[in-house]
Structure formats: structure tokens, C-alpha cells
Structure 1
Amino acid sequence: MSTGSRSSSPSAASSSAAIPASSTITPPKVTFPVSPIPPNPLGEGRSIRNAAALIIGDEILNGKTLDRNSHCFAQYCFEHGIDLKRIEVIADDESEIIEASRRLVERYDFVITSGGIGPTHDDITYESLAKAFNQKLVHHDETIRRMKELNKNRKWIGTQNAEQRAATNRMALFPENAEVIFVGEDIWVPVVRLEGKLCIFPGIPALFQKMLHSLTPFIPLPPAHERPLRIQIFTERPESMIAPYLTALQERLKPHGIQVGSYPVLYKGVFVSLIGRDLNPNTDLQKAGGKIWLAEVAKEVEEEIGGKVTSEEEVAAQKRDSAPLEATPSTAKDAETAENTSAPTEKAKF
């Protein structure tokens, strides 16, 4: 198992994931070395082109917990020019984890898992992935040391019996040949990588997001100039009125690598999305094969559908304002249930 250090530790969010809710002691401020940047696992000069996400957890499938991590990962991939091809949600089931992880690693450059790495009996992600890639499990001493350092001032730590200590140390029981990458100075839990492609993350959304973004310098992302642009145009016209034009537009733009999407907002109108990779202003158009400027297409769309280019903030505001219309509780009991279950995010398993 490979590991490194450049400056990392567990965050308060990550350390509290395995700590009883009744504990009120503020963890000490500790910083640890972050791992050095590893060699490019895809080969020198190559970058990640496509990706897949494997969301693991019975609590997702039975509706107890809302999956926010796949959405976070989709945004991350888009922002960095990675073509996210697949998102799968599976149960805490060894055979399913083995089958899905092998298949996705075979097909995609970058695969992430989320969930199932905590201390309890149903946290079987590390164990299942070790079997998937024919490795045995071994305790990672540096991860255990960081856990202990973060938890040493907590009241409960001195009351643990042998079984409870073993459960805690399960969170540092990794596949033997895995890379162990400490990505943040205040995060004790590492990103564990297998086969140079599969990165294992916790299920807690706040921690997942922080670790994903902290992983950025450690992976071979596409160059900035290859990342896509998205322009959105909003119109109050019904979707059926603009559908024929959009169909013809997509046929015309497909050879230029531009995607056209249509997304209605209930009782308000439609967002038309244009996604493509625009040309550098200094690019010679002849050398570029006469590719179309995304901004010029947006101007045409504005005129044809009677719309207006909108910012990401305006898009979010429109969708937020429409949410009560789309999800208004029909009874007082429904309203109470919605209130009690509106924030399942932090209940997600480690």
C-alpha cells in the first residue's frame, strides 16, 4: 500500500462521522502533511476523459437519505471537462460492489465510490473492493495515527473496549496495494485509490465535497482550454412551440460538438442549454475547420425563441422560485413530514 505526506488530517466533519452525537467537545486544531503528487496513473501526457460514479448505500435505495454526492460529482466533472458517462446506485452488497467496480474501472478513466467506509457491520466498501481486485486488507498505520491524534481529547476515547477500538480501526483497513492520498491538512480520512482509477470517498456530503475538490491537484485533469462552456437562454414560450426549431438546431450543431438541451420550469417557461467547447479568440478559423462560436449560436437562439441569455445565478433563482409550486405539501401532515425530512444530507453514512 503506497502513501505519502505533504500536509493533511481529518476535518471536524470527518472525525465526527464516527463519534456519538452527544459529544460536544471541540476537536483540537491539528494539521498533518498532505501527500505528494503521485505519478500520472494513466501515463505521461494523458488526462482523464470520462468518468463514472458508484454510490453505495441501502439508505439511498430505501429513501432514507437523499443522494447529493452524485450531483456534486457531476458538477465537478463538467467544470473540469470530464465526460461523466454513468452514475449507479447500489446496495451495501458485496457481490454488487465487486461486479460494478470491476466493470466501471474497465470502461472509464476515473471512477469514484461514495459510502460504506465507516465502522459498522454494513460498511463493507473497502472489504468488497479488496476482493474485487484480488487484494487482502491491511491496517494503514498513518491513518490510524491521524485518527488517534484527532480523537485523543474526546471523552469517549478512554472508555472504548477492545471491540469498539477494532470497529474504529476498521476505517483504516484498506486494500493492501491501494494508494493512500491525504488530500487536506484538516482531513484525517484519505482518498484511497485502486487500479490508478478508482477513488474511494466517504458518504457524508460535506466531507465528500471537500475531499473531491481537494483531490484536484492529485489527478490528471484535462487542460483548461478543453473544458466545455454552457450558455443558457430562458424563454417564456411553451416547450412545444420551440421544439421543432430545437430539433433542427441540434441536427445542425451536432457535427460541431455542440449539445442542445431543453429544460422546462413549471408555469414559467423553458431553459435552452447550449454546451460546447468554444474557440480561443486567437485561433485561426481555417485551422479550426470552421467550427461555430457558441456565443454566436446563443444570439441566434435568443432571436428564434424570443429568449434571453441568463446567468447561472438567474437559472438557480428561477428554479428555486418554482420549487414550492412543484412540491407543495397537500396536507398538514405532508407539510410536517416534509419539514422533518427536509435535511437528510448530514444523516448520510460514512
Structure 2
Amino acid sequence: MIFFAQCAMHPRTLARLTSLSTHIRRTPLRPAHSRRMSCATVPPDNATFQLPPLNFAISPVPKHLSDKGRHIKTAAALIIGDEILNGKTLDRNSNYFARFCFEHGIQLKRVEVIADDEAEICSASPSIEASRRMVETYDFVVTSGGIGPTHDDITYASLAKESGKYRAWISKQSEEQRTARKRMALFPDAAEVIFVASDIWVPVVRLQGKLCIFPGIPSLFQKMLDNLKPFLPLPPEEERPFRLQVFTALPESSIAPFLTDLQKRVQPEGIRIGSYPVLQKGVYVSLIGADRGRVHQLGVEVEKEVDGRAVTEAEAEAKRQLGCQ
């Protein structure tokens, strides 16, 4: 059982933790397959139990995100974890973030993976390592990982130390357990604490209006990122790129001269051409630009020249996955 003490802490964080503690203490476990069950009823051996859904308050969304006429143009991601670098865990968060950025018209410029090392996350050296360097260079920066209770979860603590102050919540547990939980609650003093979903008590912690700290669990990272959208000054719809893909069974060497010439012709229009071979399958030609009509026009030309056909994003992804197996 978890009980939370009222100590130095963001008010909304305290409210959520208090509500969570009360919810756990007061709510009886119920079989997932049935909400109505008499005291005399014996649940089957395979019955699973679950708590009713949580319903926390979401942080208020700022009314005027783009008062200064600026929106996010560039982004970077800092993936934190020894398990990524030693191959134990496949990093899915950077891929999801890349898709998020593309769909919303943001140029993802950099992705870095670093170890669970405080000196790597926030170095005080003149070279200005990792997070500080990214914040100085890009409009929107996310970190993923390193905010759990174990010894190698040091993101909050490192960034709090970087700012010189922190605030924390502590549970009424043993000293060892309290120390472990403090690792998840050391927020830099100047941080924004943004609760983006009613069923998640973990907040997105944002520093300097740019650096957003996320957990590393992919399902949690993805849900929190998607729900953060109302709190971000995203580019308007008309500035978001459109991508068209054409698949051909011809080898890449056969279509390379045409694609080289095409890229030279359309570069002044801001259209990018790419080719991506799939082993023993063929090649995907990608056309990306802001003018959807112009991209479709060029797609027809590409289909004819490479003896190919336009495919959907879902179809292209499915074929790429098959090509990797």
C-alpha cells in the first residue's frame, strides 16, 4: 500500500498522488470479466482483476500558444539507457517521435542515444554536452528514459542538479524505498509540470519551454507524446509536408540517373527525392513536399519512368517489414 506525505511538491502532482493513494486504498479488486459479483461467488481460477479507470484532472491548455507568431520548426531526441546501447532493448521511441515530427511538419534534426551516466546527460564541461546543447540548438527536445525508481534512473536528478534546485514528493515508506521513489520526483525548480491524460499520473516535465522529459516505456511515451499536442505550438496544416511513395521492382542502379536528374529539377521547389531499396524486393522512391498537387504530378512521372506504382504508407511499411525478415 502506498501513502504519500504532503511535502515540497507541485500542487497538481500532490493532488494526483493523494488521489491515486486513496483510489488504491478504497477500491476493492474486481474481476475484469464482471463488475457484479456477490460475496458468496467464487471467481474462476483464470479470473483477472483490475481497478476502475483513473480520472485525474488534465492541466489547462494555454489559450495563446502562438502569440509571438512562432511555432516549432526543428526537434531533437535524447534517448537515455544502457539497455539501448547494449542491445537488450530495441529503441522504438525515437522512431515514433520521428513519425510524430513528420506528420506535424517538424524537422527532426538529431537523435542521440547515451548511457545512464550523469556526466553524459548534463555535463558541466565547456563543450556543453547532450541536453543543454540540444536545447540551445533546436525548438523542441525530448528525452526518453531514466525516470524510474532504480539506481540508473537519473534523468530527473541530473536535470534538477543542472538547474541548481529541485522540488520533490516522498512516500511514507522505508528509507530505501523512499530514496528509490525520490528518483522519480526530483523536478528542476523552474520546470513546468504538465498532466496530459486523465488516466496517467506521471506528468510531462518541461524545461525552458523546450525540453520535455518522458518515460522510456514505449506505450507510455507514445500516449503522453500524442496527448501533449495541445500544449505545443505546432506548425499550421498548410506548412506540413506530404509524402508520396512509388514502388518499383527495378534495381536502384537502373533508376539512379533519372532520380539524380529529378532531384536537381525539383530542388528549387523544396521537394526532396529519396530512394530506399528493399533486399530482393525492389525500391521505394519517396517524394516529399508541401505542395500536395505538385507531388502527385511528379509521382505520375516517376511511376512512368521507373515502371512502378504509388503505394500507401501502410503498404510501404508492411513491405519494408517483410524485406527485413
TM surpasses 0.5: yes
Instruction: Give the corresponding residue for 1:49.
Output: 73
Relative to the length of structure 2, the TM-score reads 0.81
Cα separation, partners in 2 of 1:38 and 1:77, compared to 1, 3 Å: same
Q: Which amino acid aligns with 2:164?
A: Q
* 1:249-307 deviation digits (Å, cap 9, x = unpaired): 1111111111100001111110000011016x7xxxxxxxxxxx111111111111111
Q: Which amino acid aligns with 1:127?
A: A
Instruction: Give the corresponding residue for 1:336.
Output: none
- Contact 1:8–1:187 (CA under 8 A) maintained in structure 2: no
What's the % identity of the aligned pairs?
A: 61
- Contact 1:4–1:34 (CA under 8 A) maintained in structure 2: no
Cα separation, partners in 2 of 1:268 and 1:306, compared to 1, 3 Å: same
Instruction: Give the corresponding residue for 1:118.
Output: 148
Q: CA deviation at 1:85?
A: 0.3
Paired with 2:249 and 2:216, the residues of 1 have a C-alpha distance of: 39
1:200-349 equivalence runs, <5 A: 200-278=213-291, 293-324=294-325
Instruction: Give the corresponding residue for 1:58.
Output: 82
Picking from 193, 204, 212, the partner of 1:191 is 204
Q: Which structure has more RCO (C-alpha within 8 Å, separation ≥ 6)?
A: 1
Q: Which amino acid aligns with 1:211?
A: M
Paired with 1:208 and 1:265, the residues of 2 have a C-alpha distance of: 29
Cα separation, partners in 2 of 1:74 and 1:203, compared to 1, 3 Å: same
Instruction: Give the corresponding residue for 1:348.
Output: none
> 3-state SS of the aligned residue for 1:111?
strand
Q: CA deviation at 1:47?
A: 0.4
Q: Which amino acid aligns with 1:270?
A: V
Paired with 1:70 and 1:8, the residues of 2 have a C-alpha distance of: 29
1:24-43 equivalence runs, <5 A: 26-38=50-62
Cα separation, partners in 2 of 1:39 and 1:174, compared to 1, 3 Å: farther
Q: Which amino acid aligns with 1:235?
A: T
Paired with 2:85 and 2:79, the residues of 1 have a C-alpha distance of: 10
Q: CA deviation at 1:38?
A: 3.4
Paired with 1:80 and 1:95, the residues of 2 have a C-alpha distance of: 33
> 3-state SS of the aligned residue for 1:172?
coil
| TM-align CA RMSD | 2.6
- Contact 2:160–2:186 (CA under 8 A) maintained in structure 1: no
Paired with 2:194 and 2:276, the residues of 1 have a C-alpha distance of: 39
Which structure 2 segments of 5+ residues have no match? 1-8, 25-47, 123-128
Counting matched residue pairs gives: 283
Q: CA deviation at 1:161?
A: 2.4
Worse overlay, 308-317 or 72-81 = 308-317
Which structure 1 segments of 5+ residues have no match? 16-23, 149-157, 282-292, 325-350
Paired with 1:162 and 1:8, the residues of 2 have a C-alpha distance of: 23
- Contact 1:8–1:184 (CA under 8 A) maintained in structure 2: no
Q: Which amino acid aligns with 1:87?
A: V
Paired with 1:228 and 1:244, the residues of 2 have a C-alpha distance of: 25
Cα separation, partners in 2 of 1:39 and 1:136, compared to 1, 3 Å: farther
Paired with 2:12 and 2:266, the residues of 1 have a C-alpha distance of: 47
